[in-house]
């Protein structure tokens, strides 16, 4: 027993010696300055004043030359005015909320400019707070302006009323060569806030190859996040090059911006798991893009459409998105196009959920002015929302299949409407259209042929329509009486509904329930 107690006393004495030694060491270390230990360099050690008045460009350059990095301490505001960064530069802050940098008189903070033959390389900006300075020219300027630059990383920053990043803004589409494109840009974990819509975007990626924009939060701004490989309205012909390539925008949160996640003339674009709300223009949009996917996004209240396409696209897929609109005049999905060419090709709207919250009128999935060579709308869930692809310019085949549409109030018009032109085919099959209230004037499915020059084909089969007194209507209203379309209607479950025909194609069509 005495030996055990002696052992305990010996161990206790040894621990006291260790604790005393550690205490003496800690006492000898001076207190941290702005959270940085004395042996860890920051821009103050290289001559910066960081007083919110003096321009600290040279101190940043001195720090970069000595260490390859420039660190801003907490609770400081440095002024940096269009500083050209060398290769292998790391600009960072100790405290994301209080390590602050503001622009000088030019409005830009950092510039990275290489040449077509020798790109600038390896620049990172992280864990900093950026804001405007009174009287600075903030419109059209940014924290980082990068051209001919590869391996750019902008991560975990706060930006208040100033654009974080833009690339290659001065390039002109007709001049661009593949060697000009910025390659491998990462934009992740940033917070951007602006109440002024003239502030261009949180980030714009022009003339780029390989971009990842991930988990950013953006409030306000004009365009939030977008890619740019040319102006689709001017240069979007399918055979023309797309100078924004391999783009991924995922898990970004955007609220109150003019536009959500979108881009022009991209190739290989994935927009996934983004949350977009209260948008003054379009929410999730492709313009002149080849091989674009919008997957698993959420969009609420975008004035000109939560999910849209403009101009000349090819192989665009909207799948697994949740779309909610509060007002019927704001389309759920809309196919726009400024040209009557059916080189706008292969658009699919599959397995999405569309929810209309308007208590008076219905929302739409539709085409406004845009032809499409092949359009597929399938396996979507639509509440208080109609499908209307009957605009007079829709040249090309349509397939509207296996959708479920539900209605809780009386309306006029049609649940599904299709029309095609140019010797095309409209297929409306295996849809379920359910009205929980009787519909004395609305129609379940309307197939309309208005083509003056060509006979088209329409097929309505295996649909289930409940609650509509008129289940299916077939209409020919083209001005040329010599043109006859082919209507094939068979195997539909119409409940109380009937088939109404005002077409002039009795000899060519086969119509049964």
Least-confidence region, from 9-23, 358-372, 438-452, 472-486 = 9-23
Least-confidence region, from 219-223, 375-379, 452-456 = 452-456
What pLDDT shows up at residue 198? 60
Q: Tell me: the pLDDT tens digits for 151-199?
A: 999 999 999 989 999 999 999 999 999 999 999 999 999 999 998 666 6
At 19, list the tokens. Answer: 């604790």
Q: Tell me: the pLDDT tens digits for 40-69?
A: 799 999 999 999 999 999 999 999 999 999
> Which among 132, 121, 134 is positioned nearest to 161, based on CA atoms?
132
**Cα–Cα distance, 14 to 207 (Å, whole number):** 66
Rg from Cα positions in the chain? 30
* 8 A C-beta contact, residue 188 and residue 195: no
3-state SS, residue 181: coil
504 pLDDT tier (thresholds 50, 70, 90): low
User: pLDDT above 70 covers what percent of the chain?
Assistant: 86
Angle at 400 between CA 394 and CA 404, to 5 degrees: 135
Count CB-CB contacts under 10 A for residue 258: 17
Q: State whether the Cα torsion 164-165-170-173 is positive or negative.
A: negative
Instruction: Look at 509 and 324; give whichever has higher pLDDT.
Output: 324
**pLDDT higher than threshold 90 for residue 204:** yes
- Average pLDDT over the chain, rounded to whole? 89
Task: Identify which of 16-20, 221-225, 405-409 has the greatest average pLDDT.
Answer: 405-409
Return all residues near 401 (Cβ < 8 A) that are at least 6 apart. Answer: 376, 377, 378, 379, 427, 428, 429, 430, 431
23 pLDDT tier (thresholds 50, 70, 90): very low
**Cα–Cα distance, 126 to 144 (Å, whole number):** 12
**Cα–Cα distance, 59 to 362 (Å, whole number):** 61
For the segment 222-251, the average pLDDT, to the nearest whole number, is: 95
**pLDDT higher than threshold 50 for residue 376:** yes
For the segment 469-494, the average pLDDT, to the nearest whole number, is: 90
Q: Tell me: the pLDDT tens digits for 272-313?
A: 999 999 999 999 999 999 999 999 999 999 999 999 999 889
In angstroms, the first-to-last Cα distance of the chain is 100
Return all residues near 382 (Cβ < 8 A) that are at least 6 apart. Answer: 332, 354, 365, 403, 404, 405, 406
What pLDDT shows up at residue 508? 54
* 8 A C-beta contact, residue 251 and residue 225: no
For the segment 318-339, the average pLDDT, to the nearest whole number, is: 92
What pLDDT shows up at residue 25? 36
What pLDDT shows up at residue 32? 36
For the segment 373-379, the average pLDDT, to the nearest whole number, is: 94
Burial label for 213, CB within 10 Å (0-12, 13-18, 19+), is buried
Count CB-CB contacts under 10 A for residue 142: 28
**Cα–Cα distance, 141 to 147 (Å, whole number):** 14
Least-confidence region, from 19-28, 91-100, 250-259 = 19-28
At 180, list the tokens. Answer: 């000009």
**pLDDT higher than threshold 50 for residue 383:** yes
Report the DSSP pairing between strands 83-84 and 298-302: unpaired
Least-confidence region, from 3-7, 237-241, 289-293, 295-299 = 3-7
């Amino acid at each position: 027993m005495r030996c055990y107690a002696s052992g305990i006393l010996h161990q206790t004495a040894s621990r006291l010696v260790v604790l005393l030694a550690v205490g003496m060491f800690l006492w000898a270390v001076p207190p941290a300055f702005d959270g940085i230990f004395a042996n860890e360099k920051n821009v103050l050690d290289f001559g910066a004043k960081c007083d919110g008045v003096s321009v600290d460009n040279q101190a940043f350059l001195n720090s970069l030359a000595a260490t390859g990095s420039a660190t801003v301490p907490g609770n400081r505001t440095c002024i940096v005015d269009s500083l050209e960064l060398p290769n292998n530069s790391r600009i960072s802050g100790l405290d994301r909320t209080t390590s602050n940098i503001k622009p000088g008189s030019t409005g830009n903070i950092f510039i990275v400019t290489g040449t077509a033959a020798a790109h600038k390389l390896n620049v990172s900006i992280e864990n900093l707070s950026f804001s405007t300075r009174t009287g600075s020219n903030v419109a059209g300027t940014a924290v980082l302006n990068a051209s001919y630059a590869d391996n750019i990383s902008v991560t975990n920053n706060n930006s208040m009323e100033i654009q974080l990043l833009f690339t290659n803004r001065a390039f002109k589409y007709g001049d661009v060569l593949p060697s000009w494109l910025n390659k491998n840009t990462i934009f992740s974990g940033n917070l951007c806030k602006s109440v002024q819509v003239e502030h261009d975007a949180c980030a714009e990626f022009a003339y780029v190859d390989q971009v990842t924009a991930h988990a950013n939060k953006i409030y306000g701004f004009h365009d939030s996040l977008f890619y740019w490989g040319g102006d689709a309205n001017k240069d979007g012909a399918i055979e023309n090059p797309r100078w924004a390539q391999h783009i991924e925008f995922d898990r970004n949160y955007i609220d109150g911006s003019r536009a959500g996640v979108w881009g022009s003339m991209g190739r290989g674009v994935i927009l996934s798991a983004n949350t977009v709300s209260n948008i003054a223009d379009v929410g999730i949009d492709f313009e002149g893009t080849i091989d674009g996917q919008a997957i698993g996004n959420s969009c609420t209240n975008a004035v000109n459409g939560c999910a849209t396409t403009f101009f000349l696209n090819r192989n665009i897929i909207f799948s697994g998105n949740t779309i909610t609109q509060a007002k019927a005049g704001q389309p759920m999905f809309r196919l726009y196009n400024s040209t009557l060419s059916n080189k706008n090709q292969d658009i699919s709207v599959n397995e999405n959920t569309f929810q209309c919250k308007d208590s008076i009128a219905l929302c739409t999935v539709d085409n406004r002015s845009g032809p499409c060579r092949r359009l597929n709308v399938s396996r979507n869930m639509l509440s208080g929302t109609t499908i209307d692809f009957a605009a007079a310019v829709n040249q090309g085949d349509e397939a509207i299949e296996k959708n479920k549409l539900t209605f809780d109030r009386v309306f006029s018009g049609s649940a599904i409407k299709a029309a095609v032109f140019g010797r095309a085919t409209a297929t409306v099959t295996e849809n379920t259209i359910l009205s929980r209230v009787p519909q004395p004037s609305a129609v379940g499915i309307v197939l309309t042929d208005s083509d003056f020059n060509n006979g088209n084909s329409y097929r309505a089969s295996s649909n289930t329509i409940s609650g509509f007194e008129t289940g299916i209507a077939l209409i020919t209203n083209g001005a040329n009486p010599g043109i006859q379309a082919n209507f094939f209607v068979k195997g539909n479950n119409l409940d109380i509904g009937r088939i109404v025909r005002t077409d002039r194609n009795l000899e060519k069509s086969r119509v049964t329930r």
